[in-house]
Amino acid sequence: MMEKLHRVVITGLGAITPIGNTVADYLSGLKSGLNGVGPISLFDASQHACRFAAEVSNFDPTGLLEPKESKRWDRFSKFGVIAAKEAIADSGLIIDDANASRIGVIIGSGVGGLLTMETQAQVLNNKGPGRVSPFTVPMMIPNMATGLTAIALGAKGPSSAVATACAAGSNAIGDSFRLLQLGKADAMICGGAEASITPLGVAGFSSAKALSFRNDDPSSASRPFDADRDGFVIGEGSGVLILETFDHAKERNAQIYAELIGYGTTCDAHHITAPSPGGIGGAEAIKETIQDGKINIEEIDYINAHGTSTAANDKNETSAIKNALGERARQIPISSTKSMTGHLLGGSGGIEAVACVLSIKHGVIPPTINYSKPDPDCDLDYVPNTARESKLNVVLSNSFGFGGHNVCLAFRKIN
């Protein structure tokens, strides 16, 4: 007979985003509808079809990382480790020799150290193989945000990395949830990290016609579910959660933000980038999460949508929500925080999970900004332009990635 699964709770949060470099600033940005999109400053984008992004502003790791670390780590790893340090400090969890083997790390990333790959490829082409940095491989591999976080914090438990494109951060949280449910760990440090605002990253997504080209008005470019949307805005940053078994958190008298109660993950098996028609794969992930969490759909008070601002995603996600929830879908507020932060790719699930937990704790639903023209194919309540105060019990978070990866997470107010 299978043993009873452990309850899993969130005890710490960390975030570095285009609208705030700490959880407190991120929360303030979410509540005020802050726009994190602007002209690209990380490189000369004058020759690019898309010349704007959602960058992490005023990023200075001084005092947060050792100078040697800053030189030898890719930007995405810096984001991941800094967010993880904030989350651990917030949780009050002390990692020592006695418990290190029971605390693990899973941080997802869509592409890992893309900037390192690009810069070292230029070194190879311009100066020859002997000048390529010996740190190239450990800087660019996608698991290094996980590895460096484990080293920085001394976590020796279950450790892995997820690379399911834009679903990676949510998969990392969901996989950590499963480990804790099964008693394979007492606590997990999990989330996503990404830093793909690079010449190759922007050019690649531009060539795929995935990005918005609203160069004349970048602040209005990320407009999920709006009829005039023309593509997503690439973003960067990291969101990290500390998950613990309920018993472990209570034993150490930890603060508890909310409970993680459900995890669904499916694959469209349809196309390398396009979602399955009608959002069938996403709908199945939502249904699986509801079943996993034993959720009555009347309890669902808010959905943080994947909401990328692309024509295909927003239409199909709307269909997926309707398919999974029936008429109840029309009564549930839905918003896309990507309207403010842009799309962090593998990091998006991390910061959006943080947003969901903050929504429950503070009783506020973040808005979908830049929403002005309804789309007949997107006809649900997208919380347009202004945050909404509301008591929240159960909140869902959707993440869908290239390759047909679908994830849904469910959070509940702690009882």
Q: Locate 78 and state its tokens.
A: 């810096």
DSSP 347-396: GHHHHHHHHHHHHHHHTEEPPBTT--SBBTTB-S---BSS-EE---SEEE
**Going from the N-terminus, what domains does the chain have, and what CATH number goes with each?**
8-251 (3.40.47.10), 263-412 (3.40.47.10)
pLDDT of residue 2: 56
pLDDT at 1: 42
Can you give the pLDDT at residue 214? 98
Question: Would you call 166 a catalytic residue per the annotation?
Answer: yes
> CA 153 to CA 95: how far, in whole Å?
7
User: Which pLDDT tens digit goes with each residue over 153-170?
Assistant: 999 999 999 999 999 999
Distance CA 392, CA 296 (A): 14
Catalytic site residue from 166, 190, 356, 378: 166
Rounded CA gap, 44 and 95, in Å?
43
Token pair, residue 381, equals 């309540």
Phi-psi category of residue 56: left, alpha or beta, with phi > 0 → left and psi -120 to 50 → alpha: beta
The pLDDT value recorded for residue 320 is: 97
Closest CA to 396 of 306, 268, 275: 306
Q: Which residues partner with 241 through β-bridges? A: 13, 190
> Which pTM was predicted?
0.97
- Tens digit of pLDDT at every position of the chain (415 positions): 457 899 999 999 999 999 999 999 999 999 999 999 999 999 999 999 999 999 999 999 988 888 888 889 999 999 999 999 999 999 999 999 999 999 999 999 999 999 999 999 999 999 999 999 999 999 999 999 999 999 999 999 999 999 999 999 999 999 999 999 999 999 999 999 999 999 999 999 999 999 999 999 999 999 999 999 999 999 999 999 999 999 999 999 999 999 999 999 999 999 998 888 999 999 999 999 999 999 999 999 999 999 999 999 999 999 999 999 999 999 999 999 999 999 999 999 999 999 999 999 999 999 999 999 999 999 999 999 999 999 999 999 999 999 999 999 999 999 7
